[in-house]
Amino acid sequence: MKKLTILLILFSGINMSWAQGWVDIGVKGGWGPTFLFNQKVFDDSRYNHQISGRGMFGGKLGYNFNQNHEVTFDFMVGGLTQNFGYSMQLDSSASAQAYNSSISYKCFDFMLLYRSNTDGKYFEVGPVLSKIRSIERTDSFYFSGTDDSFDMDDVNPMQYGLTVGFGAYFMGTDNFGITGGLRISYMFSDLINNSNAPTQGYPFGQHYITYSSLNGSQAPTESASHPLLVQLVFEANLDFAYMAKANCGRRKLLMF
C-alpha cells in the first residue's frame, strides 16, 4: 500500500509538471579560448601553447517543467583551434629555431542539458556529442601551408563529452529574455585515431611522436588528445507555447 501511495504521488507530481509546463526556443552565439589537451605536450618544454579561440552559434529548444527546472536540446555550429610555438635544434652546433604549428577542426555539437533557473541565474549540465566535419593541420617547419596528408581518417569524428555552464538573465519581458554566461565543454574521447595516425606523429608533427608504431621499450607512452572549450555565450529566449489540457482530457501545446 505504501509503495502504491508513493507511485501515485510521483505520477501526480509528473502530471502536474507537464500540465504547467511550457516550451521555449532560442538562438545563441559566443566565442572563447579552445585547447587541445595532451599531457605529453604540456610536459614538453619545447612547446608553447598559444592563445587560440573559436566562435560558435546555434539554437535551442527547451521544455520548462516550472520556473526552476528545464531540459534543453542545443544544436551548435563551432569548432576548435590550437596554435603552438615550438623550438627545434637542427644541428648540434646551431641554436634552436622557432616554428609554429596548429590543428583546427569544424564541428556540429548536439547537447542535451538540464538547466536550473533560480533568482535570475542559471546552471546547466549535460552530455555533448560533437560531429567533426573537417580538420586541418599546419606546420611551418615541415610544410609550406596546410598538411594535406592529415585528414578525417586520422581522427575520431564522433566526440563524446560533458558540458557545464552558468550565467544570468540580463533583460527581457514576460516571455522574452536575454542571458549571458560561461560554458565549458570537455571531450572524453581521443581526437586522434590511434589506428590510422601512429607513424606520422600526429597531432603535433613528426618531430614529436605522440603516437607511434614502435613496440616494446622503444614505444613512447601513449597520451590522448582531449578537446577543451571555454566560451562566453549569449542567448535570446522566447517562450513559444505552453502545455494545456483540453476538455477531452488530452494535452496540447498552445501558442503564447
Cα–Cα distance, 109 to 127 (Å, whole number): 10
- Position 210 pLDDT exceeds 90: no
> How many C-beta neighbours within 10 Å does residue 43 have?
9
- 94 versus 237: the higher-pLDDT residue is 237
Cα–Cα distance, 63 to 71 (Å, whole number): 5
Cα–Cα distance, 234 to 178 (Å, whole number): 7
- Position 44 pLDDT exceeds 60: yes
Three-state secondary structure readout of 120-186? CEEEEEEEEEEEEEEEEEEECCCCCCECCCCCHHHECCEEEEEEEEEEEEEEECCCEEEEEEEEEEE
For the chain, give every domain's residue range: 19-85+96-255
- Position 162 pLDDT exceeds 60: yes
**For 84-122, what is each residue's pLDDT tens digit?**
888 776 555 566 778 888 899 999 999 999 999 999 999
Decide which of 2.30.110.10, 3.40.50.720, 3.40.640.10, 2.40.160.20 is the CATH code for 19-85+96-255: 2.40.160.20
> How many C-beta neighbours within 10 Å does residue 2 have?
6
Confidence band of 242 (pLDDT split at 50, 70, 90): low
Cα–Cα distance, 59 to 76 (Å, whole number): 7
| Residue % of the chain over a pLDDT of 70 | 71
Q: Which of 81-90, 117-126, 192-201 has the lowest mean pLDDT?
A: 192-201
List the beta strands (DSSP E) in the chain: 22-37, 47-50, 53-64, 69-88, 97-118, 121-139, 158-172, 176-187, 226-245, 251-255
Mean pLDDT value across the chain: 80
Angle at 80 between CA 149 and CA 182, to 5 degrees: 175
Report pTM.
0.79
pLDDT given at position 255 = 60
Q: Report residue 143 CA to chain centroid gap.
A: 29
Cα–Cα distance, 231 to 255 (Å, whole number): 33
Work out the average pLDDT over 193-209: 53
- 254 versus 156: the higher-pLDDT residue is 156
Residue whose entry in the numeric block shows the C-alpha cell 501511495: 5
pLDDT given at position 25 = 95
